[in-house]
Structure 1
Amino acid sequence: MNQLTETRETPLGDAQPFQGDASDDALRQELPIIEQIWTAALNHRNLALAIVAAFLVLGFLATFLATPQYTSTTRLEILPDVPVATSVEGQRDKALVNEVAFYNTQYSLLQSESLAERVVRAGNLTADREFLGAFKLDDPDASMTSAQRQNRTRQIAKILLAQQAVSPVRNSSLVDVSFSTPSPTLSARLANLWAKQFLLASIDRRFAATSDARKYLEARLASLRQNLEASERALINYGTGKGIVTISSQTDVNGRTQTQTLVASDIEAISEALAKARELRIATEAELSNTLTGNAATNATTISSLRQKRAEVAAELAQQQTIFADGYPTVISLRAELENLDRSIAKESTRSSQGNREAYNAALKRENDLQAELDGLTQKYNVQQRDSIEMAILQREVDSNRQLYEGLLQRYKEIGVSGVGTNNVSMVDVARPGESPSSPNLLLNLILALFLGIVAAAVLIFILEKMDSSIRDPQDVTKRFGLPLLGTIPEIQDQTLAEAITDKKSLAYEAYFSLRTNLTFLTSHGAPRSIMLTSSRPREGKSSSSLCLATTLAATGKSVVLVDADVRNPSQDKYLNVENKRGLSHYLAGDDDLDGIIMKMPSHGFSLITAGKLPPNAAELLDSDRLDNLIALLTRRYDHVIVDAPPLLGLADAPLIARRVEGVLFTIEANSTKTRALATALARLRMGGAKIFGAIVTKVGAKNSAYGYGYGYGYGYGYGYGSSAEKN
């Protein structure tokens, strides 16, 4: 350690030596929570074992005193099906929101009071002697009123619910319903009766839902039928008033009605006829044009044959003229025939042109007539189109009412056909009487008792730990009170303290030697010249610490005097087995024979001033100037003056002494003294102007081993508790 102490100012102005540096603070960390729990369990292990043992005994007694119970189980299959085959809004949903919610609902129905009362009535359990005997119930009174019988039914229903258990089979639609009673046959009968009534209740609910749905649908159908009739009547009246004649209608895939009126049909027919008339007029006009240009004759069959015959006659005439003269009869005859053919051709051409003209005029007239009729129908259709807007609105209303009516009628027919339908609940396995009791189970009860005992012990230990404000970890004196920890002293066993401190191999000597070493760093001149040891209450080890500290200081060759200032309850004379005839009280009372008061203790190497006789008023005696003179005188004669002062709480002695010495060592008993008492005692010291060097934690034992202060290894290692071969 580079630096052991530093000065710390308290609010009262005391200069407090503070042990350690920043590296020490890093080491002073709280124990992990697991280690804290383990430490608490070890500290209270006897109490914990007693509690656990008590619970185990109670488990044994509960097992042997309990009435044997027999369990029978029936297995049901519950399929996730809707109760009613309808999807009408406001009645029953077509599908469940989710399967988990459905099964949770079924489990709740299996454990409902209504089902239990139904089982009571179905099995007549209010008068069943086997059931009444099994649960030690009185026989029913024949004179009971209906209200009393109902109360008895509810009472028995509660008993059934307490004995019943519902256990879903994981990853399946199966559910086990179990009953536990003192009778195996009764358990089986109740389990089967419960399952049967659950099936019947499910059917009843479905039937009731179907009946309600049918009544609702009948009322809705009557209302929708009236709406449909009213909308159709309004549509027909409007069409009649507007002169709109509908000759055909059809419904598309969306349910909308498309109608065709008479005017629209006439327009369609006239349009087709007009198109044909226009085609005919165009054809006749073309023929007439051909006639006017002289091309019509070539197209006529008669004229064509005449022209062919004329060509033949002209050819024959030319041939005869090459042979015979013009006056030859054959030539004359052929020339005459040729002239006749020319007249016939001319006559036929004239007649063909006249026919084409007449055909063209007729076709043109028909086209004009049809166009005029189409224009009239178009005007009438446009008027009807404007009137059809309101008619289309009425038609949509008719379509909507018809769709609603037909859809609801279909649902009504489905309910009528399906009826109640098949039940979604079925019994898979029936319950059978158990051959051996299912409870009590000794092993299970012992495990449960063990668990409860551990929990109870843990709770009690937790409460005790929270209520315990004593010092467990010696480092807490720094955290709680701001005092340096100067030493930790183990519990002394198997020998007296005076003997233990003279043995340099003992744990006590090692601990106080470490304390003495720490004292040498408190002041610039080494260990304080005058030191007072006190505590918050008696029996915290301040007197034994004074004795041991004086012994270890004397072992270094220093002259040491130990003053027993606890004149009310002296103890140094008892520790050292000397007489307490003359001592401090005598000197303070006026006896100036200091040498006669001081006693030599050769076995320990220091001098002793006992407390002396108990004075009438110890506080007044200690408040005198003679105490100042004594401390000053002893300081000049000895290297160190150790003052064993009285405890603080309830007495004024210690604060009076503390002002006369260089500083105070505050002694704290581990695992015993409460924090509040320590804080009060320290406050009194500081109020009196005492300078507190630090604290000594005494009686550190097994409870403090978790904090590194067990002493079984630390102080005993060097001097061995076994053979030399084990000192490694």
Structure 2
Amino acid sequence: MNNSFPNSPQPQHPAFNVPQGNDDFDLKSILFSYIKYWPHILVCVILGGVGAYFVNKYTTPVYLVEATVVLNDEKPDLTSELFSATTYSGPKTNTENEMGIVKSFAVAEDALSKLNFNVSYFRKDFFGFNQIYGNTPVYVNVDWKHPQVTDGKIRLIVLDQDSYQLVVEKDGFYIYNPTDPFYKTSLNNTSVLEGVYKFGEEVLGEYFKFTISNVSSVAGDELYVQLMDTKTLAIGYMNRLNVVPINKQASILKLSIQTPIRKMGEDYLNKLMESYLDRELQEKNRVSESTISFIETQLSGITDSLSFFENRLQKYRSDNRVFNLSQEGNRVFENLVEFENEKARLEITLRYYYQLRDYLTNENLNGTMAPSIGSTGDALLNTLVANLIELQAENIRLSANFSDETPAVRELRLRIQNTKKVLSENVNSSIRNLESNVEQLDRRINVFEKEANALPETERQLVSIQRQFNINESIYVYLLEKRAEAEIQKASNFPKNSTLDYARAQFRPVSPKKSVNFLIGLGIGLGLPFLLITIKNILNSKIDDPKFLEVKTGTPFLGVIGRSKLDSARVVFEAPKSGITESFRSLRSDMSYLAPKEGNLTVLFTSSISGEGKTFCAINMASVFALTNKKVMLIGLDLRKPKIALDFNLTNEIGVSTYLSSNIHWKNVVSTTDHPNLDVILSGPIPPNPAELLLQEKFGMMLEEIKQEYDVVILDCPPVGLVSETKELFKFSDVNIFVFRHKYSEKGNYKILENLKQKGEISKVYTILNDFTVENSYGYGYGYGYGYGQDYGYYEDETKSKKRKKTRKETVA
């Protein structure tokens, strides 16, 4: 019998190297933690690509429709020069304001009111609804003055050429009330819509009123109809519209909208630009309309006077048979007519100034447009009036789309106030001048009236009547000329802004973006499993990586023990050719490096908690030494939870507790096994005070005597993390092996061993990882080499070895 171990120097065995430092980052182990799931990752990537393919194939394409508008800056006028040094400078066109107006609700509503977008028609396929625009097989005429159901979809089934059926396809109906268009209530009873109707027949109910006409549908056709009020549509299109300048320096706006139907988007943008320019033109036309209205007011009075004096003149001539004036009477008549015509024109202008002065004293900036006059002869006054009219038009436009606190609105109103102030001063000055001129004309007219009074009675009456007729005729002709000029001016008005490019849709859709979708699909297919694996690793509190023990414990790591497929713990005896047995052989070989001394060897096995496999390792370590013809003693020191007896088919009637609590010799508690080189001392009956028993000197004496008779002593100790007596047993061993169990031991359990080392309560300690499985820890199969080689053809499966052994026994029998 070989009673000693070779006395050789300890080499730098790679399995026993203690890691330097405590580096938590190990790129290789991190990569392996993901690579082992490569089949799942590959499946997810394929599914992501397939999903992207179907998204690209069946998603309704969306097209970008674009148009451009030119904002023409007006040339500075006299008024702008007056205010350039105070509150305003630069061109009048404000790009930001125009962008807000184009994108406003008012312009969108006006454009949509001219389009037939309130009724949408759809066909349904496997992947959803596809909208039809233009050539629809039926036409729905909706009375929007009546409350209507909106938003939800109604299925229309054509029964024959004359009738159809309505079925509610999708709920979510709201009631549009024309008296309160911005507030809609939900419709709960949608069944009121369903029924069979005739084409051309009015479908009338409390919350709906429309007529459906058959255009080209045939029996069996199915369509889906959705009603939407103009105000809701305007809000939606307003939010979808994008308006930006083509660059910071240019005054050209680019309008764009995304739509699944190119023609629909083009029609909307073209109509939107038309409404925008019409709105500007309407504001300009108010100037001419104001002038025409003023002239019409004057004409309405002068026409009656002209007719009256014309009839009176004819009657007087006929009654008195007087048709021509004398030379003196003709001279007086011409002078009176000349001065009175001039006075009449001044009085018309004066009435305009009075009206303008009344307007300027009105503080309501949102009131009527300032009146316009054809020609006052005052260039500054005309410029101020024209500028005030334009500022008022701009104020109305901005006020419809921006709040009163908007800086642009506040600045514009300040300009209006300043313009009114300057204009008011000029108007008052002009009124004073005109009133003075009228007084002078009155004095000259009085002179000629005295001369007329000296004429004969008949001629004097004729001069008076003909003078009134000519004055009214002259004023009437003058007003007609001015009205014609104003109407010509109105007809010649055009918006200062203009359309540069009409709406045009891009040839290729902007959505779905096939390449981007494929990248997103592959990214999700790759990223999702990585995310789930990362979360799984973060939430995993069990030790599943041998590298973890090397790095965290700072203790030499001996290797891993594979998972046994046998029901018995004696793998070494029952499956001598298995990989697990070979792992214990390797561990046995390492003992020459761990305890290179002469004499016997004492190995202690412990763990942090129960169930980590320390007893399994102790039994097989004892067994593998016994195979080398060394005399081995296995001692069960777990007095609280004994297990060895069951594994050797023994009864735990006597053992360590019996010896320590009585006067019998330790040899009387030794149990023999079916292997001649292996003896066992069981833990014995569970005592009430296991810790105190093991602390007796008697235990140390027993262990010394056992070491004299046995080559190897294996101590199966209680978990050091649960009981205290194991700490007192470390002094009796040459090698201490701390057992962790793969995917069972908590990661925090390494701190138990770390604390023992820091306190100096244990030395010559090594770790192993038990119950290790290759399939769950790809990448460590060759790094540690213990206990899982059967899958590579070097070792025999434990179950096969046991079956062969059983067959041989049956044959011998």
Aligned to 2:30: 36
Q: Deviation of residue 595 (structure 1)?
A: 2.0
Aligned to 1:387: none
Aligned to 1:585: 657
**Equivalent residues of 2:562, 2:787 under 8 A apart:** no
Q: d(CA) in 2 for partners of 1:150 and 1:602?
A: 90
Say yes or no: does 1:78 pair with 2:65.
no
Q: 1:526 to 1:488 in 2, by over 3 A?
A: farther
**Equivalent residues of 2:583, 2:785 under 8 A apart:** no
Q: Deviation of residue 536 (structure 1)?
A: 0.9
Query: Alignment partner for residue 610 of structure 2, among 534, 538, 541?
Result: 538
**Unpaired segments ≥5 residues, structure 2:** 1-7, 81-87, 120-143, 155-169, 187-227, 245-252, 285-386, 395-411, 426-491, 798-813
Say yes or no: does 1:677 pair with 2:749.
yes
TM-score by length of structure 1 reads 0.53
Q: d(CA) in 2 for partners of 1:154 and 1:620?
A: 92
Q: 1:178 to 1:588 in 2, by over 3 A?
A: same
Of 658-667 and 131-140, the range deviating more from structure 2: 131-140
Q: d(CA) in 1 for partners of 2:598 and 2:494?
A: 107
Aligned to 2:551: 479
Letter of the structure 2 residue corresponding to residue 705 of structure 1: Y
Equivalent residue pairs, number: 490
**Equivalent residues of 2:181, 2:231 under 8 A apart:** no
Query: Alignment partner for residue 533 of structure 2, among 432, 436, 461?
Result: 461
Q: d(CA) in 1 for partners of 2:571 and 2:506?
A: 83
Q: 1:676 to 1:132 in 2, by over 3 A?
A: closer
Q: Deviation of residue 116 (structure 1)?
A: 6.2
Q: How far does the alpha carbon of each residue in 1:279-335 deviate from its partner, in whole angstroms, 9 at most, with x for none?
A: xxxxxxxxxxxxxxxxxxxxxxxxxxxxxxxxxxxxxxxxxxxxxxxxxxxxxxxxx
Q: Deviation of residue 572 (structure 1)?
A: 1.7
**Equivalent residues of 2:182, 2:231 under 8 A apart:** no
Query: Alignment partner for residue 424 of structure 1, among 500, 509, 513?
Result: 500
**Equivalent residues of 2:604, 2:715 under 8 A apart:** yes
Letter of the structure 2 residue corresponding to residue 613 of structure 1: P
Letter of the structure 2 residue corresponding to residue 671 of structure 1: K
Letter of the structure 2 residue corresponding to residue 543 of structure 1: T
Q: d(CA) in 1 for partners of 2:674 and 2:692?
A: 33
Q: How far does the alpha carbon of each residue in 1:343-399 deviate from its partner, in whole angstroms, 9 at most, with x for none?
A: xxxxxxxxxxxxxxxxxxxxxxxxxxxxxxxxxxxxxxxxxxxxxxxxxxxxxxxxx
Bigger radius of gyration: 1
Aligned to 1:617: 689
- Percent identical among aligned pairs is 17
Alignment of 1:363-402 (within 5 A): none
Q: d(CA) in 2 for partners of 1:712 and 1:688?
A: 30
Q: d(CA) in 2 for partners of 1:429 and 1:684?
A: 77
Q: How far does the alpha carbon of each residue in 1:211-254 deviate from its partner, in whole angstroms, 9 at most, with x for none?
A: 5599899999x99xx9xxxxxxxxxxxxxxxxxxxxxxxxxxxx
Alignment of 1:27-176 (within 5 A): 31-32=26-27, 36-37=30-31, 39-40=33-34, 42=36, 75-78=65-68, 81-82=70-71, 84=73, 90-91=89-90, 132-133=152-153, 136-140=171-175, 142=177, 145=180, 148=183, 156=232, 160=236
Query: Alignment partner for residue 195 of structure 1, among 269, 280, 287?
Result: 269
**Equivalent residues of 2:580, 2:787 under 8 A apart:** no
Aligned to 1:507: 579
Say yes or no: does 1:491 pair with 2:481.
no
Q: Deviation of residue 43 (structure 1)?
A: 5.7
Q: Deviation of residue 518 (structure 1)?
A: 2.1
Aligned to 2:360: none
Letter of the structure 2 residue corresponding to residue 704 of structure 1: S
Q: 1:540 to 1:44 in 2, by over 3 A?
A: farther
Q: Deviation of residue 607 (structure 1)?
A: 1.4
Say yes or no: does 1:547 pair with 2:619.
yes
Alignment of 1:174-573 (within 5 A): 177-179=257-259, 191=265, 194-200=268-274, 203=277, 211=390, 419-428=495-504, 455-493=527-565, 496-500=568-572, 503-525=575-597, 529-573=601-645
**Structure holding more helix per residue:** 1
Q: d(CA) in 2 for partners of 1:508 and 1:145?
A: 84
Aligned to 1:19: 16
**Equivalent residues of 2:636, 2:716 under 8 A apart:** yes
Aligned to 1:361: none
Q: 1:162 to 1:570 in 2, by over 3 A?
A: farther
Q: d(CA) in 1 for partners of 2:683 and 2:712?
A: 18
**Equivalent residues of 1:585, 1:615 under 8 A apart:** yes
Q: 1:54 to 1:124 in 2, by over 3 A?
A: closer
Q: Deviation of residue 426 (structure 1)?
A: 0.9
Q: Deviation of residue 533 (structure 1)?
A: 0.6
**Equivalent residues of 1:585, 1:614 under 8 A apart:** yes
Q: d(CA) in 1 for partners of 2:723 and 2:760?
A: 13
Of 539-548 and 700-709, the range deviating more from structure 2: 700-709
**Equivalent residues of 1:74, 1:178 under 8 A apart:** yes
**Equivalent residues of 2:102, 2:276 under 8 A apart:** no
**Equivalent residues of 2:118, 2:230 under 8 A apart:** no
Q: 1:557 to 1:474 in 2, by over 3 A?
A: same
Letter of the structure 1 residue corresponding to residue 714 of structure 2: I
Q: d(CA) in 2 for partners of 1:141 and 1:130?
A: 7
**Equivalent residues of 2:577, 2:795 under 8 A apart:** no
Q: d(CA) in 2 for partners of 1:527 and 1:448?
A: 68
Letter of the structure 2 residue corresponding to residue 630 of structure 1: M
Alignment of 1:590-609 (within 5 A): 590-603=662-675, 605-609=677-681
**Equivalent residues of 2:606, 2:737 under 8 A apart:** yes
**Could you say what the CA RMSD is over the residues aligned between the two structures, in angstroms?**
5.8
